[in-house]
Amino acid sequence: MKVVSETFRLDPAEIESDAPLEELGIDSKGRIKLLSALEIYHDVRIDLDQLDRFTDIGSVAEVLEEALGGKADGSDERR
């Protein structure tokens, strides 16, 4: 996920969809930062209540897909 790697300066090759955010060094403050980055990058609005669902990369992708209206394809390209 490009937004995750760019926001937290992580090697994209090391980010797996089932990787827990904590293992990537993303704590509760980091989840807020990630939510904000996703909103800016994809020009969407994600409710703060969704932060509880941010447990791993896959769940972040699911929340993003829902915010995009089910149009996300995992490519992480700008709309």
Q: What is the mean pLDDT of each run of 10 residues along the chain (79 residues)?
A: 93 92 96 98 96 96 92 49
Q: What is the CATH number of the domain that holds 56?
A: 1.10.1200.10
Whole-model pTM?
0.83
Residue 10 is assigned to a structural domain of this protein: yes
In three-state secondary structure terms, 56 is strand
Domain coverage including residue 15: 2-67
In-domain check, residue 44: yes
CA distance 52 to 28: 9
In a domain, 75, yes or no: no
Query: Within the chain, where are the H helices?
Result: 2-8, 28-42, 57-67
Output the pLDDT for position 14: 87
Tell whether 22 is covered by a domain.
Answer: yes
Alpha carbons within 13 A on the beta-carbon side of 43: 3
Q: Which amino acid is at 40?
A: I
How many distinct structural domains can be found in the chain? 1
How high is the pLDDT of residue 1?
A: 75
